[in-house]
Structure formats: structure tokens, C-alpha cells
């Protein structure tokens, strides 16, 4: 008799962004004349860079001809893309990697959800609070988190590291020792960045405790300050304790195109087992490679033309970030993030709850953001806006919010 994975039933409600999507759909249906501006989900709005589109066309033409047609891709990615990654994302920053330490995938969301599978079922995880929901939810599904307490909004067997105004949104080393530590910096959702010495502290801690850090660097392209590391491997000793997740979504606009990679250094072994070998085995069994065309598109991101176009896109979004940051400050909001990150994190005014402010903003300004509480209990009383809208919409949204007062 079949039985379900009961861990799934512990998940409270639906995935955050599905809930937001439904709410907005209903509101738009009830108010068809309202022009809703979406600064909620972290989705980009600018088209793909020209160099990427060109590569897609070229690859599509290759797929049309027998001589250049490509069937199954190598599970772990084509060498042309892995080489480009090693060269442009790491060597350029003084980090030496070999191409078999780079594993191409269909997205950082998948990678961040799947990476837990290579660890023991009873591993103890530590996450920031607030946090990107996928880290926790994927561990819930795997039965690693204990039971959910609706009152506290927390799972019994997860170590939460609050990131609030009190600690400047930088987590403190946990009191209890975790086996796996999820860190995302520049952070989603708070937009906070870690300086190199702050990240080094985590690397040293993980090496001392023999814990593994899952370092999500999906937003590294938005870093503007020179003392903020783009890769955890810029810290000494990180290769023996850290996996790094990277994405093409937020820099090159691949949210609907799907491409990412994970770095698992060869030095990273647990109980004498190379984590890279386990990850390769997982890829080889439960994944079948990213599409050839998309990998070629990813390669084009590293061309001279591609790099220039990506920098322009990032610049465009960061101008939005400044508009939001400055505008909200002027309006009297308490805001952070937005300097090394496309996310602006604001304190909800007048003690409003996160979801209360969500409804308030949607109904009174037709602006969609993301309630901080959706990212964890310490996100209550906060709200995330993203810089991924158009410049015009961003200006308009900020104007509308200013009109509300605060």
C-alpha cells in the first residue's frame, strides 16, 4: 500500500511566491483598471543581452543540422562553459579552480534545494532568519527539520540565526553546532553584504567544527564595495569547508532561461568522501544536463560583448535600487540593503505586520512587494522591494509610496 512522504505535510501553507502570485491575480481580477507594479518576486524584466540572443540563434541553427546537432549533454556540463566559468568568475579574482570542480545545472533554486541530498538524513542545518524559503523547505521534505511550531513559525530541529537591525542583518555564530550552514550573501531577502573579514570568520568556524557551508552567491554581480568578496573562495581555507552556488538569473537575466552552476572543490571531503563525487553522482542519476543551447547562451555571457551588456543591465537595476533606497529614506522609512544587492529591506511603518503592509501597499498604491514574514519569523515587521522593475515603474512605485506617507 503506497504511503506519502509525510514530511511534505509539515510544510506550512504553499510556497511564498505562489501565495503572492495568487493574491495579486485576485486583486488584479477584482480591479482590472488598476496598474499594478510588481516589485515583489525577484524576477528580472530586461530582455536577454544581445550577445546571449545571438548565441541562442547560432545554437538553434546547429541543432537543425545533423552534422552539428547535439544530443545528451555531459551530465556535469560542457567543457566550454565550465572553462569560461573558471576563467572569468574565479581566476579573475585570484581563485584557482579546475573545471571538474564546476557543475552546470538548470538553476540555483534547484541546486540549493538538491544539495542537501548528499548529506546524512539526520544532519542539523543552520539558516539565517529571514531566509530564502527553499533552503528550509527542501530540508523539511527530506525529514531533517523536526516538527513545525505554528506559534513561533519555526521547525524544532533547525538552528535559526536571526538577522535583524540589532546585528545589522549579519548573523552571529550559532550557539549550537550545526552540520550544514546556509549562507546567502549578498543576502536575499535583506540585501545585506558580508565584508571579507566577516565571511572569513564563518570559514574558520566551519573548518573548526567540520561543518559545511552552502554559500549562495547568486547576487554577486550586484556587489559595489571593494571589501565585499564575490566568492567564498576568496577567504582562506574555504575550499575545505564550502560549496558555492552561482546563477545566471540575476546578472544576465536567465530567470526564464535557466542556467546555474555549483562549485564543489576537490579539497572538500567529509569522512574521507569527496563531496564533489557525491554531487556528480546525484547529477548523473537525477539530472540530465542543461540544454546545449542554454549552455552556449551562458558562454556568451563571458564574451567581451556579453560582459559589457551584463554590466549595463546590472547598472540599470542598481539605479533602480538607488531610487528606492533614496526615495524611501526621504519618505521617512527605515531602509537597508540596495548597495551590494538588488534588494531593499524596509521596516514596515507604524508597527504594521508584514502581510498587513503587503495588503496595504497593494490596495493603496497598487505596488507588490514581499512580506518579510514570508522569509521567516525574524522577517516579521519587514518588507522586501526589488530593483528588478523597469526604471519608469520603479520611479512611479516610489512616488506612490511617498504619497501614502509613512
Q: Which parts of 21-80 interact with a copy of itself (CB under 8 A)? A: 41, 43-48, 50, 53, 56-57, 60-61, 63-66, 69-73, 75
State in angstroms the smallest separation of the CB of 140 from a copy of itself: 9
Cβ proximity of 250 and 218 under 8 Å: yes
Mark the segment that binds a copy of itself (CB under 8 A) among 119-127, 162-170, 224-232, 347-355.
Answer: 119-127
State in angstroms the smallest separation of the CB of 357 from a copy of itself: 24
Residue 255: other Cβ atoms inside 10 A: 18
Distance, in Å, from the CA atom of 373 to the CA atom of 377, rounded to the nearest integer, reads 5
Query: Exactly one of 12, 34, 98, 120 binds a copy of itself (CB under 8 A); which one?
Result: 120
Q: Which is nearer to a copy of itself, 178 or 381 (CB)?
A: 178
Q: Which is nearer to a copy of itself, 280 or 352 (CB)?
A: 280
Q: Which is nearer to a copy of itself, 283 or 347 (CB)?
A: 283
Using CB under 8 A, which residues numbered 339 to 398 contact a copy of itself?
390
12 binds a copy of itself (CB under 8 A): no
Q: Are strands 382-386 and 370-371 parallel, antiparallel or unpaired?
A: antiparallel
Query: Exactly one of 190, 200, 251, 257 binds a copy of itself (CB under 8 A); which one?
Result: 257
Q: Which is nearer to a copy of itself, 297 or 331 (CB)?
A: 297
- Identify which of 125, 165, 150, 174 has the alpha carbon closest to the alpha carbon of residue 379: 165
Q: What are the CA-CA distances from residue 120 to residues 109, 142, 144 (Å)? A: 21, 10, 9
State in angstroms the smallest separation of the CB of 331 from a copy of itself: 28
**Backbone angle region of 357, left / alpha / beta, with phi > 0 → left and psi within -120 to 50 → alpha:** alpha
**Backbone angle region of 14, left / alpha / beta, with phi > 0 → left and psi within -120 to 50 → alpha:** beta
Mark the segment that binds a copy of itself (CB under 8 A) among 248-256, 317-325, 357-365, 373-381.
Answer: 248-256
Q: Which is nearer to a copy of itself, 275 or 362 (CB)?
A: 275
Strand arrangement, sheet containing 343-347: 335-337, 343-347, 382-386, 370-371
| Joined grid coordinates for residue 81 | 562553459
Sign of CA dihedral 113, 115, 121, 123: negative
Distance, in Å, from the CA atom of 23 to the CA atom of 11, rounded to the nearest integer, reads 19
Using CB under 8 A, which residues numbered 132 to 171 contact a copy of itself?
133-134, 137-138, 141, 143
19 binds a copy of itself (CB under 8 A): no
Using CB under 8 A, which residues numbered 92 to 111 contact a copy of itself?
106-107, 109-110
Distance, in Å, from the CA atom of 309 to the CA atom of 316, rounded to the nearest integer, reads 11
Query: Exactly one of 32, 33, 121, 176 binds a copy of itself (CB under 8 A); which one?
Result: 121
Cβ proximity of 221 and 21 under 8 Å: no
State in angstroms the smallest separation of the CB of 87 from a copy of itself: 24
- Identify which of 101, 242, 97, 251 has the alpha carbon closest to the alpha carbon of residue 183: 242
Using CB under 8 A, which residues numbered 206 to 245 contact a copy of itself?
209-212
Q: Show the binding pattern over residues 296-335: x = contacts a copy of itself (CB under 8 A), - = does not.
A: ----------------------------------------
Q: What are the CA-CA distances from residue 310 to residues 84, 149, 280, 281, 304 (Å)? A: 15, 43, 30, 33, 10
Number of residues this chain uses to bind a copy of itself (CB under 8 A): 84
Q: Which is nearer to a copy of itself, 192 or 290 (CB)?
A: 290
Q: Which is nearer to a copy of itself, 180 or 339 (CB)?
A: 180
Q: Which is nearer to a copy of itself, 138 or 348 (CB)?
A: 138
Cβ proximity of 375 and 132 under 8 Å: yes
258 binds a copy of itself (CB under 8 A): yes
Q: Show the binding pattern over residues 260-299: x = contacts a copy of itself (CB under 8 A), - = does not.
A: ----------xx-x-x--x--xx-xxxxxxxxxxx-----
Angle subtended by helix axes 354-365 and 16-30, to nearest 10: 30
Distance, in Å, from the CA atom of 45 to the CA atom of 39, rounded to the nearest integer, reads 11
Amino acid at each position: 500500500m503506497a504511503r506519502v512522504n509525510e514530511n511534505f505535510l509539515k510544510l506550512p501553507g504553499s510556497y511564498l511566491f505562489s501565495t503572492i502570485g495568487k493574491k495579486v491575480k485576485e486583486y488584479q481580477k477584482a480591479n482590472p483598471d488598476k496598474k499594478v507594479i510588481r516589485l515583489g518576486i525577484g524576477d528580472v524584466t530586461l530582455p536577454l543581452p544581445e550577445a546571449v540572443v545571438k548565441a541562442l540563434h547560432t545554437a538553434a541553427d546547429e541543432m537543425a543540422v545533423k552534422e552539428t546537432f547535439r544530443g545528451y549533454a555531459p551530465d556535469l556540463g560542457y567543457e566550454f562553459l565550465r572553462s569560461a566559468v573558471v576563467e572569468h568568475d574565479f581566476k579573475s579574482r585570484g581563485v584557482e579552480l579546475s573545471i571538474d570542480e564546476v557543475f552546470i545545472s538548470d538553476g540555483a533554486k534547484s541546486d540549493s534545494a538538491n544539495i542537501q541530498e548528499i548529506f546524512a538524513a539526520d544532519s542539523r542545518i543552520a539558516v539565517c532568519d529571514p531566509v530564502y524559503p527553499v533552503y528550509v523547505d527542501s530540508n523539511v521534505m527530506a525529514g531533517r527539520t523536526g516538527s513545525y511550531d505554528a506559534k513561533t513559525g519555526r521547525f524544532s530541529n533547525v538552528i535559526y540565526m536571526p538577522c535583524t537591525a540589532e546585528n545589522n542583518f549579519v548573523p552571529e555564530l550559532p550557539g549550537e553546532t550545526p552540520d550544514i550552514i546556509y549562507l546567502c550573501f549578498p543576502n536575499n531577502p535583506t540585501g545585506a553584504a558580508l565584508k571579507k573579514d566577516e565571511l572569513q570568520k564563518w570559514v574558520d568556524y566551519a573548518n573548526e567544527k567540520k561543518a559545511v557551508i552552502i554559500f549562495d552567491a547568486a547576487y554577486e554581480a550586484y556587489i559595489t564595495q571593494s571589501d565585499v568578496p564575490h566568492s567564498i573562495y576568496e577567504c582562506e581555507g574555504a575550499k575545505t569547508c564550502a560549496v558555492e552556488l552561482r546563477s545566471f538569473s540575476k546578472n544576465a537575466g536567465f530567470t526564464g532561461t535557466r542556467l546555474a552552476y555549483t562549485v564543489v572543490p576537490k579539497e572538500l571531503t567529509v569522512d574521507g568522501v569527496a563531496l564533489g563525487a557525491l554531487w556528480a553522482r546525484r547529477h548523473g542519476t537525477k539530472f540530465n544536463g542543461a540544454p546545449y543551447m542554454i549552455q552556449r547562451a551562458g558562454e556568451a555571457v563571458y564574451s567581451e560583448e556579453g560582459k559589457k551588456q551584463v554590466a549595463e543591465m546590472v547598472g540599470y537595476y542598481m539605479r533602480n535600487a538607488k531610487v528606492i533606497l533614496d526615495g524611501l529614506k526621504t519618505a521617512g522609512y527605515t531602509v537597508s540593503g540596495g548597495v551590494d544587492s538588488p534588494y531593499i529591506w524596509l521596516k514596515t511603518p507604524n508597527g504594521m505586520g508584514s502581510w498587513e503592509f503587503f495588503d496595504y501597499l497593494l490596495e493603496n498604491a497598487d505596488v507588490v512587494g514581499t512580506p518579510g514574514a514570508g522569509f521567516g519569523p525574524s522577517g516579521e515587521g519587514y518588507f522586501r522591494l526589488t530593483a528588478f522593475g523597469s526604471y519608469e515603474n520603479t520611479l512611479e512605485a516610489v512616488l506612490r509610496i511617498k504619497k501614502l506617507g509613512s
